[in-house]
Amino acid sequence: MLSIARRTAAGAAILLIMPLTVWLSGWMWQPGHNAMWLKTLYWITETVTQPWGIITHVLLCAWFLWCLRFRLRAALMLFAILGGAIIVGQGVKSWVKDRVQEPRPFVVWLEKTHHVPVDEFYNLKRKDRGALVKEQLAEQQDIPKFLRKHWQKETGFAFPSGHTMFAASWALLGVGLLWPRRRTITIAILLVWATGVMGSRLLLGMHWPRDLVVATLISWLLIVLATWLTERFCGPLTPPPEEKAEIAERDQTDA
């Protein structure tokens, strides 16, 4: 387990660079960014938001199964472990949110600019919160329509970030499970994608930097356990002899 913890910790450290830098800089979210830039970030965040998040999960599961090439029984076990890691992470996120009850940045902004008290906002039912956001921002032309709709849908608490936990978990699963197979391109793409998701949550006014930091750390703990369970119940993560020649050839091609 120590080797798993070390390599996934390296992946977590990479993911933490951006949110820690933003946190230490004292940056505070404000609306008014370029609409095209926000639209790009919105579509990045949508890869994690339901129902697109389910599609992302299935595609990543399929790719991991192909990369690891376990036999059927081990593959089914791996599928269950991957799904379990994501579900448990989202469960932990919901449990912590309900207890910490930290308001989202855009809700704090609503209080300052539209005089909607945070406490009163969160005392409403979710449906009523969405209706209130729609009503308050109906004439707010400097907020893009797609972002207003996103805020109407995402009216829960901020801490920690569920989107970050989903993306960071998959990125760290890539480091934990695919590094022994030298799937460096896949790992790099996952780390960049996860960082993009995290950045989108900041710039769309959904989360504070600390939400991303804590979500990444929780994800790391869960992925260490999930990777260890995979190695224990599905077989060794190191490639069999017949795959080593393929890996060596792939490394030469990438170089």
Among 171, 176, 238, which Cα is nearest to 198's? Answer: 171
Q: State the Cα–Cα distance between residues 222 and 89, nearest whole angstrom.
A: 7
The verdict on whether 207 is a catalytic residue reads yes
Catalytic annotation, pick one of 33, 114, 150, 207:
207
DSSP string covering 156-173: S--SS-HHHHHHHHHHHH
Q: What is the dihedral of CA 75, 220, 155, 205, to 10 degrees?
A: -120
Q: Is 21 left (phi over 0), alpha (psi -120 to 50) or beta?
A: alpha
The helix-helix angle for 105-114 and 126-136 (nearest 10°) equals 50
Give which of 158, 161, 140 is closest to 219, Cα–Cα. 161
Q: Which of these is catalytic: 33, 115, 150, 163?
A: 163
Q: What residues contact residue 221 under an 8 Å CB cut-off, 6+ apart?
A: none
For 13, 24, 183, the CA distances from 36, given in Å and listed in that order, are: 30, 27, 33
241: left (phi over 0), alpha (psi -120 to 50) or beta: alpha
Q: Which residues are catalytic?
A: 163, 207
